[in-house]
Amino acid sequence: MLVLSLLAGLSLSPAAAADDTLDQQRQRLDPTAEDLSVRERLGVLVERVKLEQNHVTSMSARFRQEKISEMLLEPATDLGLFYYRAPDQVRWEYESPESMLVVINGEELVTFYEEQGVAERASIGDISEQVFKYLGASGSLDKLAEFFEVTAYFPEAAGDPYHLVLEPRYSRIERRLLGMEIWIDPESYQPTQFKYLQPGGDETLYRFDDLVINETLDDALFEVVLPDDVSVKTIDLAKRGS
C-alpha cells in the first residue's frame, strides 16, 4: 500500500480552467491514471476530493457509531440519521439505544438529551474536539489540513477506499484530539467512514450507509425547538476541553 504525507495547502495538479465542465474536471483529476507519478497522484487525489466537496450542497445517510473505551466492557453502538447542508449546518439524530439530537447551525451547537429532558447550547467559534466530532462527513479537506498533517494510503485493489490518517499540527488540538482517520469512497470521493482517537485511548468510529448527495433538505432539520420544560445549559467548549 502506497503511503505519502500531505502538507497543508499542497496542490500538485494543474488548476482546472474556470470554463471547464464538471465532467471535464473529473476526467483530468483521476488519481488512478496510469501516467501519474507517485507525487502527482497525491496532488490529484487531494484536488479531486476538494472538487467533489465543493459541489456538495447537502448529504444524508444512516450512520453507525461504535465507541471503544477502557471504561466499557464492550464497544458501545449507536444508530441514527445524519444530515448536512452547506456550508455550516449539521444534524446528528441518534435513534438507538437512546434518543439524542445534535445540531450545528452556523456557530451554535445544540445537544438535546431527549430522554433526560435536558439540553446544552454552545458556541463553536473556537476549535475543539466537539467541532471535529460533529463536523464529520461534512468536513472540508482544506479545513482539516489547516490543523492536521495528513498521510494518504492508496488502495491496492479496485473498489477499496482511500485511507487518510490525520495527526494534529498544534498542541492545542492534540490536547483534545489525538488524531482522525477518514476512508474515502473511490467512486463518489466522499467519506464513508471516519474514526476519532482521543486522549486516554478512547476511539469512536462512524460508518455511513445509504449516502444521498445533493437532495433538498427541509429547513426544520437544522432548527431545534425545545419543549418548555427542558432544562437548557450554556456551556464553554474551551473550558470543557482544558
Helix (H, G, I), strand (E, B) or coil at 103: strand
Contact present, 128 and 238 (Cβ < 8 Å): yes
Give domain limits for the chain.
Answer: 58-241
Q: What is the pLDDT of residue 239?
A: 57
CA distance 235 to 95: 24
**CATH topology assigned to domain 58-241:** outer membrane lipoprotein receptor (LolB), chain A (2.50.20)
Each residue's pLDDT expressed in tens, for the chain with a length of 242 residues: 434 333 333 333 344 455 689 999 999 999 989 898 877 887 888 889 888 888 889 999 999 999 998 888 888 999 999 999 988 888 999 999 999 999 988 888 899 999 999 999 988 765 444 444 444 545 567 677 778 888 888 888 889 999 989 899 988 888 878 998 999 999 999 889 989 898 888 999 999 999 999 999 999 999 999 999 999 998 876 555 44
**194 and 180 Cβ atoms separated by less than 8 Å:** yes
Q: Which residues pair with 82 in a beta bridge?
A: 61, 92
Q: Is residue 136 packed enough to be buried (19+ CB in 10 Å), middle (13-18) or exposed (0-12)? A: buried
Number of neighbours of residue 2 by Cβ within 10 angstroms: 11
Q: How far is CA 127 from the centre of its chain?
A: 14
Cell of 225: 425547538
- pLDDT at position 128: 45
Residues whose CB is less than 8 angstroms from the CB of residue 38 and which lie 6 or more positions away in sequence, other chains included: 2, 4
Of 189, 208, 215, the residue nearest 66 (C-alpha): 208
- Distance spanning both ends of the chain, measured CA to CA: 38
Q: How would you class 121 by CB atoms within 10 Å of its CB: exposed for 0-12, middle for 13-18, buried for 19 or more?
A: middle
